[in-house]
Structure 1
Amino acid sequence: MWDFIQTQILGMKWLNILIGELLSALGLDIDSRIGSGIHFFIYDVIKITILLCLLIFVISYIQSFFPPERSRKIMGRFHGIGANIVGALLGTVTPFCSCSSIPIFMGFTSAGLPLGVTFSFLISSPMVDLGSLVLLMSIFGARIAIVYVVMGLMIAVAGGTLIERLHMEDQVADFIRNANSSVEIETPSLPVKERLIYAKDQVVSTFKKVFPYILIGVGIGAVIHNWIPESWIRAVLGGRNPFGVILATILGIPMYADIFGVIPIAEALLSKGALLGTILSFMMAVTTLSLPSLIMLKKAIKPKLLGTFIAICTVGIIIVGYGFNLFQYLFI
């Protein structure tokens, strides 16, 4: 039963076969380099789009129960590492990219939540949202997806805890520290119909923002899958290069994409022989430490805290990468 869910529902292998048959019927040789690239592109775009819309709808419906003010109150009931854990977990039901998470982080911070808790939220929100869990399951399988999410949450909790113990509250921008407003006025209870409308609207708005990155990501994946020699990938990101994890992490930072755009690139790299941990480090760096999000974050926090945040995330991502590489035989 689980194999059926993994291959036919999440992986949509039936769609892959159907598209291959349609392209063959149109006279395209799907075993050729160009035909295989077109096949890969169409299949992945359709598959990720379907999963994207379904995931955004479900997650947005869940999210309608957790407006920022309610989330702030929930986190305010906990203290110590428990508060960091709650902050990290709440990050899994919030926006899909780091740039969308930063305004919420700023609101939480100005509302008086402990700095470490808000950073646990900021790290986990783009790195381990519920969408990443399902998408990773569709490509890499349940074990890899679950361990990825657990490790991401551990980075978020550890990072937030460390920042809390460093007492860097003075490194938050003055306009945030001096804000007296609440995050948001308490949202009244919504009927099911309005929650469904909200979820539908989120699907439309998020799809418009994300779809270009899906096309770019799948396009890059198709090029890697069909034009870049496997020997090159193995030499740079395979077991022959002990610095592959560090290189992948550094390469991921300048990029801007969310999990939906990175997945097809990761899928192509894995098929070409890149190590699992190296790929996951690349994904974490892209989603958590993208250059545009760091530029936005620089307006909210001072350089010392920004540097600490980058260092903690980078070290955590690299440790996760080498850990997955070391135990890759357990997952693949």
Structure 2
Amino acid sequence: MGKILRFVQDELLGMEWLATCTGRFLTMIGVDIESKLGGSIHFFVYDTIKIMLLLFSLITFFGYIETYIPPEKTRAVLDKLNGLWANIAAALFGTVTSFCSCSSIPIFIGFTNAGLPVGVTFSFLISSPMVDIASCVLLASVFGWKVVIVYIATGLIIAIVGGWIIGALHMENEVEEFVRNKGKSSQVQILNQTQKDRIKIGLREAFNTIKNIWIFIILGVGVGAFIHNWIPKELVVRILGKGNPFAVLIATLLGAPVYADIFQTIAIAEALLKKGAYLGVILAFMMSITTLSLPSLIMLKKIIKGKLFFAFLAICLVGIMIVGYMFNIIQNILLI
């Protein structure tokens, strides 16, 4: 069983075969991949192809799966649940969808407009960008499944507890009036889609996603290649390693202004890990980017009021930093 999991992680997700083929091709055309420049080129070409292939495959697959669970169906289910169970269901729905932080906000508005409790909708809003399954599968290609399983579990806990806290604070009036106005719940539309239609939807989702973010993936891989081959390991360790007790806080605050998702930051994370940055620091940076991106916070501030906005911000920041320090402590166990 261990050999099978290792094969899946190294060859299917990590695509070590692609790294070998890329290295041989570059060597054949005269690139010295052992040099700093050649190593950067190797890293850039290999990681760009790997991420694009994984991204296209995963988005196609999960786009296909999502045709079976449209938001209208989920809204109908959540409307029947109460208390903590509703928070759990909303967080799980966020996990199986592939929405970035900005894309999650229109769904949040729809749920709120339909009359769902504000705490339940915030469990979805936190979970959706932070722990969507497609991104986590890609994370496994770098960190392994043990890390990803704990990452998903902790992300869900943040979403469930965060939404529960917001619900317990009774902040329904902190949502802007135009969002709170409950319209007539629309009937769930059941689309008689053929398998061919569902596959087309998945492919369209993949093409649209790549079309929108390919330049950012290339930029992210470029930054990763630079870190991997040109930034001294000692500098990375000093700033983001175990010796700096504020490393998680720094990573969390640095990640918040960035607008990206895990697909776009994976190469940077991979390079930082190889340079000696601590696992919790890297994951805190990535969680902060995906959950607290500046554009999504600007959009969110337009639909909720100050107290609720700062409660959401505080819950996410504290939760991310707790996860970061926890992963720093258990890194040696997870990365064996």
- Give the TM-score normalised by structure 2: 0.97
Q: Is the 8 Å Cα contact of residues 68 and 183 (structure 1) preserved in structure 2? A: no
Deviation of 1:240 after TM superposition, in Å, equals: 1.0
1:7-26 alignment runs, 5 A limit: 7-26=10-29
Please tell me whether residue 61 in structure 1 is matched to residue 64 in structure 2: yes
User: Counterpart in 2 of 1:97?
Assistant: 100
Q: Is the 8 Å Cα contact of residues 73 and 188 (structure 2) preserved in structure 1? A: no
Segment drifting more, 92-101 vs 151-160:
92-101
Q: Is the 8 Å Cα contact of residues 62 and 98 (structure 2) preserved in structure 1? A: no
Please tell me whether residue 82 in structure 1 is matched to residue 64 in structure 2: no
1:1-332 alignment runs, 5 A limit: 1-182=4-185, 186-332=189-335
Q: Is the 8 Å Cα contact of residues 111 and 179 (structure 1) preserved in structure 2? A: yes
SS of the residue corresponding to residue 327 of structure 1 reads: helix
208 and 184 in structure 1: CA distance in 2 versus 1, 3 angstrom threshold: farther
Deviation string, structure 1 residues 229-250 (Cα, Å, up to 9, x no partner): 1111001000110000000000
For 1:92 and 1:184, the matched residues in 2 are separated by 24
Amino acid at match of 2:208: S
**Structure 2 unmatched ranges of 5 or more:** none
Deviation of 1:62 after TM superposition, in Å, equals: 0.9
For 1:263 and 1:316, the matched residues in 2 are separated by 21
**Structure 1 unmatched ranges of 5 or more:** none
Amino acid at match of 1:90: F
Deviation of 1:82 after TM superposition, in Å, equals: 0.9
For 2:286 and 2:173, the matched residues in 1 are separated by 31
Amino acid at match of 2:330: F
Amino acid at match of 2:63: S
Q: Is the 8 Å Cα contact of residues 107 and 182 (structure 1) preserved in structure 2? A: no
For 2:284 and 2:185, the matched residues in 1 are separated by 36
Deviation string, structure 1 residues 157-194 (Cα, Å, up to 9, x no partner): 01000000000000001101114144675242322121
Q: Is the 8 Å Cα contact of residues 37 and 223 (structure 1) preserved in structure 2? A: yes
Q: Is the 8 Å Cα contact of residues 88 and 121 (structure 1) preserved in structure 2? A: yes
SS of the residue corresponding to residue 310 of structure 2 reads: helix
Deviation of 1:141 after TM superposition, in Å, equals: 0.5
Q: Is the 8 Å Cα contact of residues 96 and 259 (structure 1) preserved in structure 2? A: no
Q: Is the 8 Å Cα contact of residues 69 and 182 (structure 1) preserved in structure 2? A: no
For 1:276 and 1:183, the matched residues in 2 are separated by 45
Amino acid at match of 2:159: A
Deviation string, structure 1 residues 180-235 (Cα, Å, up to 9, x no partner): 14467524232212111111111111111121221111111111111111111001
Amino acid at match of 2:54: L
For 1:179 and 1:26, the matched residues in 2 are separated by 64
For 2:264 and 2:33, the matched residues in 1 are separated by 24
Give the root-mean-square deviation of aligned CA atoms.
1.1
SS of the residue corresponding to residue 246 of structure 1 reads: helix
Deviation of 1:255 after TM superposition, in Å, equals: 0.5
Percent identity at matched positions? 54
SS of the residue corresponding to residue 44 of structure 2 reads: helix
Deviation of 1:96 after TM superposition, in Å, equals: 3.4
Q: Is the 8 Å Cα contact of residues 75 and 87 (structure 1) preserved in structure 2? A: yes
For 1:305 and 1:136, the matched residues in 2 are separated by 31
Amino acid at match of 1:242: P
Deviation of 1:57 after TM superposition, in Å, equals: 0.7
184 and 29 in structure 1: CA distance in 2 versus 1, 3 angstrom threshold: farther
